[in-house]
Structure 1
């Protein structure tokens, strides 16, 4: 399995399911499956399997089959224990070892199914909370050893199990889904994978997705300091991974940018504004793909902005970005992938749900409800007045319908004139922060 293939193979949505990506960026299915089969069939000499030292707890294929016949069901009987003793805990851990061992077996042709079976063992209907904690902690304890395995597909599936660990299952209140609550302790391992340049790119991408899920769906977690650790790792790794149109790299940056938008703080524990400045850096960077720049625009609108945040600067730079998009779209209106960037510009003003708007205060228009930011209402609302008519056709486009025509000259003119009239003189996004020089608003991007 190549880095490109695995990095594009899964998405971590709200909840605990890993499923295939769809849309204009999905890779051809046959190429993906072909690469998977080729990697799985690699002989030991090619895959450097002999260089990997198997952990003492790992069962080979014959031992795993013997365990299943003799001990598996007896050990599983411990899963109902309200207060497991040491002997019971040892038996539970053996079940985890049984599943993790299978990820390394040459005769296992369906590793995702093995991951699914392991996760199903921890269903609330089959286990007690104490048992689930033991099982998840054992997975986290053993995962680092599997993550050194020479085969990318083994490491990837090990990490997919970690990413999908849940403290609580998904629930429904009426027709509203409450996402599963991820297992917060997993964030430490995911950070290690994210920042490791020796780890495969597809695993690092999956780690970024997992961190995004932990930040987005956590229930009272991560803590403020843990969010700072996550933010620092994301910002540092973004800095070490320059913008590129190469498929794996831009997608890696995309998932890190997305995660930054969910960390729920603008700075690190040293009060350095690393999150808000990193996202604004991406918004103004013309070497970055429009998709990533607009994702950064949406992300910055989701941060808990303080009264000292330069909201006019953020608003104007997002409008400049939209102006660049209009100019580029006019030159290549039939290129695929245009709808999402325009939609994300809209979402940076108005989020997708009422809960996001009213409770989480996402979107620039709802940031105005935060303490001290209402003074910027005229700027933000004025910007939305010129942004919405441009984005509206992309919001209304049906899946199979063609892309709308380029925005009219009058709409683009209104946008650019608004930017010129509202260019702020204060060029830092926070007091004493880095300066963002003013740039012309109507420039064709490099996309």
Structure 2
């Protein structure tokens, strides 16, 4: 499978390290953009010719940002300053150091020492407005610019992180609309859409009720999830190359982060979209595993067909083990371990705090949700069937094969526990029977894959224990 490795496994994404990794990964796509997307000659031109405005207005803008209630000329200066610092990203000479130049804007002005809350609010809105304008250009600016414009939006916060309590920054929900527009755009490249999907997922994950500017109302959450579902059906998400695979992974992760399995109108589109990715054997296995983990983070209740969900989860684990065994050692990428980790964390999340109320992430906690207490024995049995496969794949020693006995044990459980009800909700389309669609069939082993597993300790502790 393509190695669609991305950020980190941390739940309060994005961490500083994960942001650096994301920029590096997106840089790979950006470097290839002329061959895939819009030729530089067809891109939007720079918005400004030089940086003279910044040199002239640095001190006056700093002074205006410290005013308790900027108005008149001071307010205009802040708005023009926001426009300037966003526009300078479009200058070709700046594009090798956009993150550094963006840091200057954030650290010196938006969240600079002495910046008042009123000035911060003015800079927030002016920055959002200008990023939105530039992201709507057609033809668009080069990918390096559009990715960083989305990066600017994703860095605007309603409340800073609390390092003492270990809580992440509260994202600024006003950025959601321009980010949704990025997903819906017909002209922006896939690397820009990946960054926007990640940012929307962070809004869904870290928005906090009662925080001014960071309170994600249910209507906005519904709009975000709707855009993510549309993204999975879009042309940009089609194909098995690295870009579309990363995009689909980002989209399903974000749906899980938003925790809205049904739409406000009562439709089943969000959870159906995750199940579609989960059961499609032609899908990249890491994307399938990400869809499983996203589903394990949703607030399910007795109206959802949990037996079907965990059965399809076990099928993905079964397929992952066989895919590993039928892939030549030289061709095995880090995506196998990422996929195994996603599936393991679907039962036992990597951050134990998220397994507790109110989140209750992970299928092993599903029996604590309304109407699902009776599902505990089935979920525990599914975990027992999947765990040997997943801990083998998480072994740092890179096992030669997943033991056939473990695959057979999982298969036996699958054959005995296929639910008759094939709809995940009453409104969902039926998922074909696993035997009918060939879900239990496996390919022949690769010619030079060893027949016996390599010795070595299991990696259960690495993945969170037992």
| Cα distance in 1, alignment partners of residues 6 and 369 from structure 2 | 39
**Alignment partner, residue 259 of structure 1:** 254
Contact 2:305 2:423 in 1 (8 A): yes
**Alignment partner, residue 83 of structure 1:** 69
Q: Does 1:309 align with 2:296?
A: no
1:292-344 deviations in whole A, cap 9, x for unaligned? 00000000010111221110000111111111122221111621121111111
| Cα distance in 2, alignment partners of residues 351 and 332 from structure 1 | 28
From 177, 188, 195, the equivalent of 1:206 is 195
| Cα distance in 2, alignment partners of residues 288 and 141 from structure 1 | 37
| Cα distance in 2, alignment partners of residues 134 and 364 from structure 1 | 44
Cα offset, 1:18, TM superposition? 6.9
From 178, 191, 197, the equivalent of 1:189 is 178
Cα offset, 1:15, TM superposition? 5.0
Residue 90 of structure 2: SS of its match in structure 1?
Answer: coil
Ranges in structure 2 where 5+ consecutive residues have no aligned partner: 210-214, 445-466
Contact 1:324 1:443 in 2 (8 A): no
Residue 103 of structure 1: SS of its match in structure 2?
Answer: helix
**Alignment partner, residue 134 of structure 2:** 146
Cα offset, 1:8, TM superposition? 9.1
| Cα distance in 2, alignment partners of residues 237 and 32 from structure 1 | 18
Change over 3 Å in CA distance of 1:18–1:77 after alignment to 2: farther
| Cα distance in 1, alignment partners of residues 153 and 371 from structure 2 | 40
Contact 1:47 1:150 in 2 (8 A): no
Cα offset, 1:150, TM superposition? 3.3
Size of the aligned set, in residue pairs, is: 418
**Alignment partner, residue 90 of structure 2:** 104
| Cα distance in 2, alignment partners of residues 159 and 254 from structure 1 | 18
| Cα distance in 1, alignment partners of residues 405 and 337 from structure 2 | 20
Structure 1 window deviating more from structure 2 (303-312 vs 221-230): it is: 221-230
Counterparts of residues 338-377 of structure 1 (less than 5 Å): 338-359=336-357, 360-377=359-376
Residue 19 of structure 2: SS of its match in structure 1?
Answer: coil
1:346-391 deviations in whole A, cap 9, x for unaligned? 1111111122100311111112111111111111011111211221
From 72, 79, 86, the equivalent of 2:58 is 72
TM-score normalized by structure 2? 0.82
**Alignment partner, residue 231 of structure 1:** 225
Residue 137 of structure 1: SS of its match in structure 2?
Answer: helix
Contact 1:14 1:217 in 2 (8 A): no
Change over 3 Å in CA distance of 1:258–1:438 after alignment to 2: same
Q: Does 1:128 align with 2:116?
A: yes
Change over 3 Å in CA distance of 1:322–1:92 after alignment to 2: same
Contact 1:283 1:294 in 2 (8 A): yes
Cα offset, 1:34, TM superposition? 6.6
| Cα distance in 2, alignment partners of residues 420 and 107 from structure 1 | 61
Cα offset, 1:169, TM superposition? 1.7
| Cα distance in 2, alignment partners of residues 106 and 363 from structure 1 | 46
**Alignment partner, residue 245 of structure 1:** 240
From 256, 271, 289, the equivalent of 2:266 is 271
**Alignment partner, residue 387 of structure 1:** 386
Ranges in structure 1 where 5+ consecutive residues have no aligned partner: 1-6
| Cα distance in 2, alignment partners of residues 297 and 194 from structure 1 | 22
TM-score normalized by structure 1? 0.85
Change over 3 Å in CA distance of 1:170–1:124 after alignment to 2: farther
Contact 1:60 1:101 in 2 (8 A): no
Moved over 3 A (4+): 7-13, 15-20, 31-36
Cα offset, 1:114, TM superposition? 1.6
| Cα distance in 2, alignment partners of residues 76 and 347 from structure 1 | 46
Residue 107 of structure 1: SS of its match in structure 2?
Answer: helix
Change over 3 Å in CA distance of 1:232–1:123 after alignment to 2: same
Contact 1:181 1:219 in 2 (8 A): yes
Superposed CA RMSD: 3.0
Cα offset, 1:87, TM superposition? 2.8
| Cα distance in 2, alignment partners of residues 206 and 294 from structure 1 | 20
1:183-204 deviations in whole A, cap 9, x for unaligned? 1110100000111121121111
